[in-house]
Structure 1
């Protein structure tokens, strides 16, 4: 696994934004991306040693209501940073830092935009090497730490993955946090955790998703068209012998349960890195694409939605 670099962290987001704006290229030509980080006003580095060599990245979301995405960068051992998008429509990219002790957190490995309380204002789930944080959006790119207010146990893990889904009529979403190695022992995989709401305003204690095999990505997905979103987990085989990729059954009226070979689940051992899911065949059921340090995997159901095979 290559350590995330300055270019990797900021280049992807800014190149994407540059590619989506005006261009001299013909609309029928191949997309062309230009690194405009410096000229756009971005001055940020994701740094750190071993415990930050996975993670890093950027969350893009509109926190001003003008239809333009702001950027929140993980920083590793450096502070994370929020940048306001002040780019004129159709013009050059321009971002301005929004310093705040609430958002300028250290030990951040990633962040995910989510409207956790459905108030129409984007919140941020901030993943850390340490205690995870839930930042509630207040509007105009202001945030408050609402971790305690929501009863969220932030843990003390090396968290690098996140996904969320709403179960049934719950007002709050179910949250899944994926852990890599344990902080205490770099040879052992840390348990990922599932947080379910206890009522309309707070969360119950986390449920450990064990066994765990050094998770790098997680994704809730209705793989069988049942209306139930189960949790797909991509794991790094570098640190396990008997483990594999995983699928957890997440039903609102029962504890999470790992699918096994008896359920039709086939063991797959790869250096799992990322997950994407989309219906590529038009049958209404999503395929799954898993990136890996080795060969990537594209999976589709063999015999319909009854079994995860």
Structure 2
């Protein structure tokens, strides 16, 4: 492993180009992303507090939602501060160790979130298709086991991805045509044979993406079949409404990832890559608490009650 030598790895420098080819947009973009990050932090931490403090929300669906908010907060915090820095500071360099560290935490968050969304789809499947068994199937112990497995696989996947990058060699200065240290950008900067690394990434990334997609699509297929069989229109509406927020979040998350898969590897596509990366690293973590709060009556009631308490306390 050529990068194992500490002195050698310390000499490896990555330059994050970010949006440097649009100098007139640096300050406006900084302000926009700063506001978005503040909304993300307040929204996701607020969601966690609301769920944890309201006993009515102590059910599996909101248990998973609180961890989704935690992952979105972590993901945005891993990516956005560095993005803000390179927008206002001329020095866009990042050394090898911090670059790999940023990627590793981002990878853990992305993989974990994908499997967590699949677990939430399974939760909705059990709630709608097997309501009488819901308390038994989605017991507290089962939910903790599912969550432990989700986080564990996120960590294992991240370690495999990192290992596949650490076996590569890099020259002293490397250009990353993006605003963060993501896998394909680091890989493209390598000067060694990438066949093994590309094979590892192809197998694991496709397994993670399509295994979670299969769980989500299968769950919703059975949900739609069950809902269509319901006699009551109000029953169908109630069943669909419990899935609307999650289905919206899943569509945005996987739609963005699949769009990245379809982008061609050409210079003309780099702007699209950066815009798409902005979407799933900055925009989605901001949107998720809005989606789950605005479309969820229980959460809206909890927010309203919390605001009333603060108003009366003053």
Question: TM tier, shorter chain?
Answer: under 0.3
Structure ranking higher on relative contact order (CA contacts 8 Å, 6+ apart): 2
Structure with greater strand percent: 1
User: TM-score, normalization: structure 2?
Assistant: 0.25
User: TM-score, normalization: structure 1?
Assistant: 0.25
Larger radius of gyration, structure 1 or 2?
2
